[in-house]
A and B are shown apart, each in its own frame.
Chain A
Amino acid sequence: ELKVEQNPLFLSMQEGKNYTIYCNYSTTSDRLYWYRQDPGKSLESLFVLLSNGAVKQEGRLMASLDTKARLSTLHITAAVHDLSATYFCAVDAAGGGADGLTFGKGTHLIIQP
């Protein structure tokens, strides 16, 4: 059974600081997704990582994938309050969307002024 573990699960940080969220998964996969969820809202797609060594950046967020280590990271640079949300990583173990995505428990991020 595929397991996806995120850490930390909770993170409180100050504006302007940098931090990294880690996502480990237990089976071979070369498709990993990062989503953002605001309280009471649905999930917003942030990044799709499709191969070993893939790196994508959007604004203050950068995601990377190491398929050999079964590890993805989401790095936050110079955090701002608007980035406060819950961030999920999700793995597509079957490839191409079959079997759905397996999500981690999420990292609840609070960025304080």
Chain B
Amino acid sequence: DTGVSQNPRHKITKRGQNVTFRCDPISEHNRLYWYRQTLGQGPEFLTYFQNEAQLEKSRLLSDRFSAERPKGSFSTLEIQRTEQGDSAMYLCASSLLAGEVTQYFGPGTRLLVL
């Protein structure tokens, strides 16, 4: 199965620590998206890349958050100085550039900030 993969699947950290998540998209997909989902809510868009270029950032993405996609392959999302409000499921999705542009989601990384 060559779907979207994310690591780690779970992360528990203490407030103030930095965390980094990784996403490996479907290999031929140009676009890669990050979303955040809290309990009982739909996913909220954070940012997206087309190849290695970060083209859009939501206002939800504070300056403590940074995302990269070196060489247009995998992506990392780093949260610095974590806060309890950062606790959520972080979802990565990827899509082709054209056609139906369906976003295929990975299994997510569940973050708990204590």
Instruction: Please report A residues at the B interface, Cβ cutoff 8 Å.
Output: 4, 31, 33, 35, 41-45, 48, 50, 88, 90, 92, 96-106
Contacts and interface: CB of A to CB of B under 8 A. Distances in A.
Given A42-B91, A43-B91, A105-B40, A97 B103 contact: yes
A104 B103 CA distance: 16
B103 A42 contact: no
A97 B43 contact: no
Contacts of B25: none
13 contacts: A35-B105, A41-B107, A42-B106, A45-B104, A45-B105, A88-B43, A90-B42, A96-B97, A97-B31, A99-B45, A105-B40, A105-B41, A105-B42
A90 B35 CA distance: 13
A88 to B, nearest CB: 5
Contacts of B35: 100
A42 B105 contact: yes
Interface of B: 31, 33, 35, 40-48, 55-56, 58, 91, 93, 95, 97-98, 100-108
Given A31-B101, A42-B106, A103-B44, 20 more contacts: A33-B102, A35-B105, A42-B105, A42-B108, A43-B93, A45-B103, A48-B100, A92-B101, A96-B101, A97-B31, A97-B95, A97-B101, A98-B48, A99-B45, A99-B48, A100-B33, A100-B45, A101-B43, A102-B45, A106-B41
